[in-house]
Structure 1
């Protein structure tokens, strides 16, 4: 709706965090192009080598550190593709001045809950969180080993998303069960990143992109209601128990509704922010971004 005016693959009405980050670090245009798209332009030298200089996006919506319920490569497989590209094309260019953004948005835990009928066994889930963060740390080390010396890794921000606050009529920003999961994941990630930085011998730096506190600062801030008067409710919401953003019935009738002005909503759907929401998050992250400039 907001950008670029037609479906573009973003889970939002317009620009998302990666777009703001890419612009911040000087990429031409928007975010680096998706790997699948990049493979289609190899016959066009200007596009091919131009995109190499400004990076490639290996991410897939709905994926995680491990396999989820989405038929797409997990993070290990994505790094495999990155490694193949580096060995084939970046040998002479080098990656010393590159920045990698690594995000794990909680899809591993959504898949975990789906496998366990929507429940969270405290002991089992803590063990699973440790597996996720341990593998995530191993993935960061692989990226470092390929020559990237600056890595941004996002933590989790799930406490206030409409999927969680729906049961509380979108009135409260906290859910004890989800908050404990998020806190444990983020503490584990912070510890692993700290160890990596302490053990680094080649001036490599991993910086945690603290989405969790950025979200909370905005959603619990004094100016939240004036900036985002729609509160914790998403702009694009299902109109029935079976509907959610972008879903249609058998007659292609929308089972969702869209607000008139997405700029008044922090959240776009049940999980993802609007362009205005992501811009507010980006503003909160500016001091952290200076650590890798």
Structure 2
């Protein structure tokens, strides 16, 4: 037995230097994050946003923005499409797994949601939604205001399950994740032009940042004390945007809009401690995805300019339905012309986990 232990230690010492930085960081993150979560009584993960974190709430809505058909879910458990706009799991699924709770964050509107799911966390997110309620109204999906109504409903159900006092504590010690903004700019500003007629892009960013703070204040009223906000990705690097803009490079106008808005998010989060007594954490999805697009080999990707579904240049959602896909999605940054692959989402989740610190969890 002692010899076996020594051999394992030697093997670990020999193998670890050969691991990629990302793999090594991932290993350390999971151990550290689980300990931190236990030490700071993290109870669950509650999610709000758009298709980047919607596990299937849109399935029961009267909207065309759904992903509950092949080839979505191609690499999900049993190859089953769930409504997730990817070939597999979402960042919030990986975050919940790393915390040690569950491998999947279910949608709150899931028909067969189990009572135990309420304890581990749920997602209220709705694909095609945004910080601007008008964005959701255009596509008939759940605006954040409705997602927050469901949060209140969730709290009531939780109270009936574990008692009001325990429910309050679960909400207080939960990690609230917010991920949206893409549809506000692409759909509502640059395509529909509704807001473009009312605001400059900078003014619209201010409007969205103010809307975000209004939502966070409502979360605080319900009991939230820890919020993680995922920044808007490099919109100009999405295959769909490149196609619409007729360029093979990341479009600077779209990317500038995303960068500017992300700076506004960070500025707002910096005020949370003083204004609401909340802790806020920013996840730089922009930097992570742009780095992967510009340096795909560094992350083990071979294709960063187009998606895996169909031609990879314009298909997403309904237009991706039943189309053929690339042979190995793990080599692609994008699954369709808008959404990342499961592997890219895993990299984003790892970045979020590595950013967690005791100051945020206090």
Structure-1-length-normalised TM-score: 0.83
How far 1:159 moved relative to its partner? Answer: 3.1
> Structure 1 residue aligned with 2:351, among 278, 284, 287?
284
Partner of 2:121: 55
Alignment partners' CA distance in 2, 1:96 and 1:264 = 39
Alignment partners' CA distance in 1, 2:103 and 2:296 = 34
Aligned residues: 274
> Structure 2 residue aligned with 1:104, among 175, 180, 187?
180
Note if contact 2:237-2:255 (Cα within 8 Å) is conserved in structure 1. no
Distance 1:86 1:175, change over 3 A: same
Distance 1:89 1:11, change over 3 A: same
Alignment partners' CA distance in 2, 1:283 and 1:219 = 17
Partner of 1:162: 239
> Structure 2 residue aligned with 1:178, among 246, 249, 254?
254
Partner of 1:12: 86
Q: Which range moved further: 83-92 or 126-135?
A: 83-92
Note if contact 2:296-2:303 (Cα within 8 Å) is conserved in structure 1. no
Note if contact 2:94-2:103 (Cα within 8 Å) is conserved in structure 1. no
How far 1:146 moved relative to its partner? Answer: 1.7
Alignment partners' CA distance in 2, 1:245 and 1:257 = 13
Task: State yes or no: 1:114 paired with 2:191.
Answer: yes
Partner of 2:140: 71
Give SS of 1:207's match: strand
Provide the aligned C-alpha RMSD in A.
Answer: 2.8
How far 1:122 moved relative to its partner? Answer: 10
How far 1:111 moved relative to its partner? Answer: 1.9
Alignment partners' CA distance in 2, 1:122 and 1:280 = 37
How far 1:181 moved relative to its partner? Answer: 0.8
Distance 1:64 1:123, change over 3 A: closer
Alignment partners' CA distance in 1, 2:120 and 2:267 = 31
How far 1:290 moved relative to its partner? Answer: 3.6
Distance 1:101 1:261, change over 3 A: same
Alignment partners' CA distance in 1, 2:154 and 2:347 = 34
Note if contact 2:231-2:284 (Cα within 8 Å) is conserved in structure 1. yes
Partner of 2:215: 139
Partner of 1:44: none
Partner of 2:205: 129
Give SS of 1:37's match: coil
Distance 1:122 1:288, change over 3 A: farther
Distance 1:191 1:135, change over 3 A: same
Distance 1:229 1:238, change over 3 A: closer
Alignment partners' CA distance in 1, 2:76 and 2:148 = 29
Note if contact 1:237-1:245 (Cα within 8 Å) is conserved in structure 2. no
Partner of 1:89: 158
Structure-2-length-normalised TM-score: 0.68
Alignment partners' CA distance in 1, 2:199 and 2:143 = 25
Structure 2 residue runs of 5 or longer lacking an equivalent are 1-73
Partner of 2:301: 228
Partner of 1:275: 342
Structure 1 residue runs of 5 or longer lacking an equivalent are 42-46
Greater helix share, structure number: 2
